[in-house]
Amino acid sequence: MLKTIDDAVFLRKRMKERSARNQTLTVNENEKPALLSKAITLRKATKLYLLKGKVIYQDLTACSKFLPNNFIDLLIADPLII
C-alpha cells in the first residue's frame, strides 16, 4: 500500500528497471479489431480445456474467480499507473 508521494516515486522508478530479458508487446490500431474478436471474457467458472489457446481480455480481479486452480502459465498485464 502506498502511503506517501515518496513511496509512489520509489515504485515508479523501480518499475522502470527492467530485466535484460524483458520484452515489450505492442498492438497497433490496425491489429486491435482482429485480436479483440478472438479474445474472450469470463462470466462463470470455466473448464481448463475451454481456455486452452485463448486470450482473456478482462480485468484480472474480475476474471480470476472463474479460472481453474493452478491455471496461469503466462500473464501479460498492463502496468499499474500511479
13 neighbors 82 (Cβ within 8 angstroms): no
pLDDT beyond 50 at 80: yes
pLDDT beyond 80 at 82: no
As a whole number, mean pLDDT of residues 11-30 equals: 68
What is the per-residue pLDDT across 26-60, written as a single tens digit (0 to 9) for each?
A: 788 888 888 888 889 999 999 988 888 888 888 88
The three three-digit cell numbers of residue 61, written as one number: 480481479
pLDDT beyond 80 at 72: no
